[in-house]
């Protein structure tokens, strides 16, 4: 049983097998005071090792110039290969199914080229209502690119009247009913607004049953959820790395393409020279011959300075292991939920809209601040809580297992109680 006391929180921290990782990150000090940082779902904290990893590349650039591509300590021409196996472990994939490249929205566009291929009556896309805006825009513009009408071709699944969360039965029903007209299911694995985690395995099975492709935007899932993309037979996925994966602002993205597609050199895609067969890449000849892995979707050579801090973070994930991270995630988020509900019982001015079932959420709780709204959020910010605001009345908080503590949760509760009063 949880207890809303400082002594209990400190005891939990002492027993935490991941407690040492907290000191391997920089924690913001604002106005001379430490913060309670609960915004890992927007921008993760900086690993202390990130500077060292970047400095290695800066030093090699200074020493070698262009020759650093082949003679640096981590040769730049293959730098992305340092990340593939580590990233594969994070998302539950084979190394050949993952590659780190580009930015999230660009990568989703590139994957849509390969996996949204409307033909005949199979033209429709199913997505969740209130998806992240980039996903909405991407789907709209790809449908329009094929001279189709987004209003008729995109089917949005909304929460039922009076509810905040989407009933997954409604997703599965829509897939079955759309049937032969369905080309693609494209859903955010974790909804950015409510924090709802969708059953990706079941959705993929349902989509494939009617002959559709199934992909996920994992911006709020990668590094947060225990993913098994290969075993779930997901066709494709993409994610950013600056949230739970702590790669820094604007950090590089990752993609997953299931082995059955990644090895298919005939699959339609937009080509680039870094996706070209490695044996012939530098011959600079015509005729695109893609690498028969996820690397075949690359366009440009590795942005090494953006990949270096991600490399530092992925080393921490590999060391800690996703199983231990997931275990703490559930317990830490459960404790924070308990704290919020304990305070909520004193004066009900807000409610949690994130699922209470730990199998249906990750390290995020969304508070609907009814009656207080932005004023409550601003008061929390003034008291050095770094959280996240989403219109019209939601405060998102995310206790990241690698660097947040149980004492952070207790402190948040104390500040929340004071802010309400």
Is the pLDDT at 35 greater than 60, yes or no? yes
**Confidence at residue 420, expressed as pLDDT on a 0 to 100 scale:** 83
* 324 contact partners, CB below 8 Å, separation of at least 6: 17, 18
Locus of tokens 């009933």: 167
Is the pLDDT at 392 greater than 90, yes or no? no
**Would you tell me how many other CB atoms lie within 10 Å of the CB of residue 337?**
19
Binned at pLDDT 50, 70 and 90, residue 130 comes out as: confident
CA–CA gap between residue 344 and residue 219 (Å, rounded): 30
Mean pLDDT of 42-67: 98
**Confidence at residue 246, expressed as pLDDT on a 0 to 100 scale:** 98
C-alpha dihedral, 243 to 246 to 248 to 254, nearest 10°: -70
Locus of tokens 């849509």: 112
Task: Please provide the average confidence, as pLDDT, over all residues in the chain.
Answer: 96
**Confidence at residue 272, expressed as pLDDT on a 0 to 100 scale:** 96
Binned at pLDDT 50, 70 and 90, residue 349 comes out as: low
CA–CA gap between residue 149 and residue 147 (Å, rounded): 7
**Confidence at residue 347, expressed as pLDDT on a 0 to 100 scale:** 58
The pTM of the full predicted model, rounded to 2 decimals, is 0.96
Is the pLDDT at 381 greater than 80, yes or no? yes
Q: Which two tokens stand for residue 178?
A: 């759309």
- Give DSSP secondary structure letters for 22-81: GGGB---EETTEE-EE-BTTTSPPPBTTHHHHHHHHHHHHHHHGGGHHHHSSS-GGGTTH
**Confidence at residue 373, expressed as pLDDT on a 0 to 100 scale:** 73
**Confidence at residue 374, expressed as pLDDT on a 0 to 100 scale:** 86
Is the pLDDT at 351 greater than 70, yes or no? yes
Mean pLDDT of 256-280: 97
Binned at pLDDT 50, 70 and 90, residue 305 comes out as: very high
Is the pLDDT at 317 greater than 70, yes or no? yes
pLDDT tens digits for range 94-113: 999 999 999 999 999 999 99
pLDDT tens digits for range 4-15: 999 999 999 999
Exposure string of 102-128, with b = 16+ CB inside 10 Å and e = fewer, is bbbbebbbbbbebbbebeeebbbbbbb
Containing H/E element for 394?
strand 394-397
For residue 327, the Cα-to-chain-centroid distance in whole angstroms is 18
Residues 26, 246 contacting (CB under 8 angstroms): no
Three-state SS annotation for 247-267: CCCCCCEEEEECHHHHCCCCC
> Percent of the chain at pLDDT above 70?
99
Where do the domains of the chain lie?
6-46+321-420, 54-319
> Percent of the chain at pLDDT above 90?
92
CATH fold for the domain made of 54-319: 3.40.640
Binned at pLDDT 50, 70 and 90, residue 32 comes out as: very high
Pick the CATH number of 6-46+321-420 from 3.40.50.300, 3.90.1150.10, 3.40.50.720, 1.10.287.610: 3.90.1150.10
Least Cα distance to 227 among 213, 242, 238 occurs for 238
Least Cα distance to 330 among 197, 135, 181 occurs for 197
Residues 175, 200 contacting (CB under 8 angstroms): no
Coarse DSSP helix, strand, coil percentages of the chain, rounded to the nearest 5 percent: 45, 15, 40
Could you tell me the CA-to-CA distances from 206 to 82, 184, 221 in Å, in that order?
A: 35, 11, 21
């Amino acid at each position: 049983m949880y207890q809303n006391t400082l002594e209990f929180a400190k005891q939990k921290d002492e027993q935490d097998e991941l407690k040492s990782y907290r000191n391997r990150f920089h924690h913001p000090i604002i106005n001379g005071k430490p913060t309670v940082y609960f915004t890992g779902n927007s921008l993760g904290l900086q690993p202390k090792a990130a500077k060292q990893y970047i400095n290695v590349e800066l030093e090699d650039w200074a020493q070698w110039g262009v020759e650093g591509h082949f003679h640096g300590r981590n040769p730049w021409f293959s730098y992305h290969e340092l990340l593939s196996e580590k990233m594969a472990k994070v998302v539950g994939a084979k190394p050949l199914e993952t590659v780190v490249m580009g930015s999230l929205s660009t990568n989703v566009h590139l994957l849509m080229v390969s996996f949204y291929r409307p033909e005949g009556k199979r033209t429709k896309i199913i997505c969740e209502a209130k998806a992240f805006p980039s996903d909405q825009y991407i789907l709209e513009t790809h449908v329009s690119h094929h001279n189709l009408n987004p209003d008729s071709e995109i089917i949005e699944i909304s929460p039922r009247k009076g509810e905040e969360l989407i009933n997954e039965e409604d997703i599965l029903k829509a897939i079955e009913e759309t049937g032969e007209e369905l080309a693609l299911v494209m859903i955010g694995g974790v909804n950015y607004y409510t924090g709802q985690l969708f059953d990706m395995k079941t959705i993929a099975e349902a989509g494939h049953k009617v002959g559709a492709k199934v992909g996920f935007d994992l911006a709020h899932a990668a590094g947060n959820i225990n993913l098994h993309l290969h075993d779930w037979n997901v066709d494709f996925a993409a994610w950013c790395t600056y949230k739970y994966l702590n790669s820094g602002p604007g950090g590089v993205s990752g993609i997953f393409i299931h082995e059955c597609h990644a090895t298919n050199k005939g699959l339609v895609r937009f080509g680039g020279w870094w996706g070209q067969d490695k044996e012939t890449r530098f011959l600079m000849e015509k005729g695109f011959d893609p690498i028969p892995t996820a690397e075949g979707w690359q366009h440009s050579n590795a942005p090494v300075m953006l990949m270096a801090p991600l490399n530092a973070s992925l080393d921490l994930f590999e060391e800690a292991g996703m199983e231990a991270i997931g275990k703490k995630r559930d317990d830490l988020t459960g404790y924070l939920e308990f704290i919020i509900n304990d305070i909520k019982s004193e004066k009900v001015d807000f409610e949690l809209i994130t699922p209470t079932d730990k199998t249906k959420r990750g390290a995020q709780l969304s508070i609907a601040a009814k009656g207080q709204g932005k004023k409550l959020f601003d008061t929390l910010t003034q008291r050095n809580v770094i959280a996240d605001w989403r219109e019209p009345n939601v405060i998102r908080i995310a206790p990241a297992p690698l660097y947040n503590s149980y004492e952070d949760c207790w402190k948040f509760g104390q500040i929340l109680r004071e802010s309400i009063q």
